[in-house]
Every structure is written in C-alpha cells, then in structure tokens.
C-alpha cells in the first residue's frame, strides 16, 4: 500500500525538491546565515525594506543634485516633495555618502525596518547598539 507522500512525490520533478538545489546560505548584514537569523521575517521579504532602499537611493540622488548646484525648490518640484522632505533627504544623502567609504555594503538603518520583529529582544538591542 502506497502512502500519500509516495503518490504525490511521483508527480514532482526531482530538480524542484529542496534537497536537490544548490543553495548557499550567505546571510546578510543582519545575520551571517539565514538559518541562524533572529528575524521573524526576512528583510528581503519585507516590502518596507525595499521601500526604504528606494528612499535611500532617492536621497543620494537628491544630495548629489543639490551638491551640483540645483536649488531645494527645483528639487522639490522635480521629485514632487515638500521643501522640508528635500532638506531631510539632503541630510540623509550626505550621511550615506560619508559612510560609503567605511564599507562597500549598502547602509540601511535598522529603523527603516519597523515591522520586523526579533525572536530575542536582547539581540535586537545588541544589533541596534552595534549599528550606531
């Protein structure tokens, strides 16, 4: 008598099974390994992470355009943002440019990942302390 798994696995191609994939667990800037990560949701599966990354790229562009002499009012019209938001973007972009010399990795503040929770609050505090 065949069981449920044997019957259903016959329909699955062998190269689609996780055992037959060549997967390297390189982790990310938060954890060295995905399997050892303390996040309940991977930062790459979080839409807010992507939005934060896009915002940082926008801030770098705004900073560079401002450095080249474009006025805050022109940038405000170009990006359809308030003058105050442009000023914040320039400040953020400046910080990103300054810190790029320290590391080639992307710099994404953990506070841009607001809905990601940690299994262990002590580890969250440690990560935030090490980040600053």
Domain ranges of the chain: 4-131
92 vs 14 pLDDT, higher one: 92
Average pLDDT over residues 39-57: 78
User: Is 99 or 65 the better-scoring residue by pLDDT?
Assistant: 65
HEC string of 41-92?
CCHHHCHHHHHHHHHHHHHHHHHHHHHCCCCHHHHHHHHCCCHHHHHHHHHH
CA pair distance 6, 22, nearest whole angstrom: 24
| Whether this model's pTM surpasses 0.75 | no
What was the pLDDT predicted at 111?
Answer: 56
4 has a pLDDT exceeding 70: no
Lowest-confidence region among 14-23, 48-57, 69-78, 103-112: 103-112
**Which whole number is the average pLDDT over 38-59?**
80
């Amino acid at each position: 008598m065949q069981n449920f798994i044997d019957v259903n696995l016959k329909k699955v191609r062998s190269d689609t099974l996780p055992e037959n994939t060549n997967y390297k667990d390189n982790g990310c800037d938060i954890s060295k390994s995905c399997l050892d990560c303390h996040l309940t949701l991977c930062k790459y599966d979080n839409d807010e992470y992507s939005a934060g990354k896009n915002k940082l790229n926008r801030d770098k562009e705004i900073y560079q355009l401002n450095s080249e002499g474009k006025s805050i009012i022109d940038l405000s019209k170009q990006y359809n943002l308030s003058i105050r938001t442009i000023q914040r973007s320039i400040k953020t972009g400046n910080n990103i440019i300054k810190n790029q010399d320290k590391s080639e990795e992307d710099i994404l503040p953990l506070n841009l990942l607001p809905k990601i929770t940690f299994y262990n609050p002590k580890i969250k505090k440690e990560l935030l302390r090490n980040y600053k």
